[in-house]
């Protein structure tokens, strides 16, 4: 079976998330919500996933506009803005 799953991200340089091996990335966006009276502006990846597929770890790299790096690596997923910050999300 297939479903669209959401994968919340932290706004850090590198992180690892688990997703089904054949997941097809749809978008990277902010999701604004209020939970328990607390407003959140959460960066998320949405992907079409086969719910029967094995989970694998994927490295997510987030580059901020203007931040210098030795080399920008990975497959580009999308760009998002959070307040005055602009994040460019890649997967390796």
Q: How far separated are the first and last CA of the chain, in Å rounded?
A: 26
- Give percent above pLDDT 90 in the chain: 70
- Could you state, in order of their start, the residue ranges of all structural domains in the chain? 2-91
Residue 27: name the closest of 64, 65, 74, 79 by CA: 79
- Could you tell me how many residues make up the chain? 92
* Predicted structure pTM score: 0.86
Alpha helices in 1-92 (DSSP H): none
Mean pLDDT of the chain: 91
| pLDDT(91) > 80 | yes
pLDDT in tens, 13-40: 999 999 999 999 999 998 876 666 766 7
């Amino acid at each position: 079976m297939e479903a669209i799953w959401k994968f919340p991200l932290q706004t850090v340089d590198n992180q690892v998330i688990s997703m089904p091996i054949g997941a097809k990335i749809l978008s990277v966006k902010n999701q604004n919500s209020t939970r328990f009276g607390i407003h959140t502006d959460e960066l998320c990846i949405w992907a079409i996933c086969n719910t029967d597929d094995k989970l694998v770890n994927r490295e997510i790299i987030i580059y901020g506009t203007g931040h210098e790096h030795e080399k920008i690596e990975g497959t580009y997923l999308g760009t998002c803005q959070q307040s005055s910050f602009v994040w460019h999300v890649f997967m390796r």
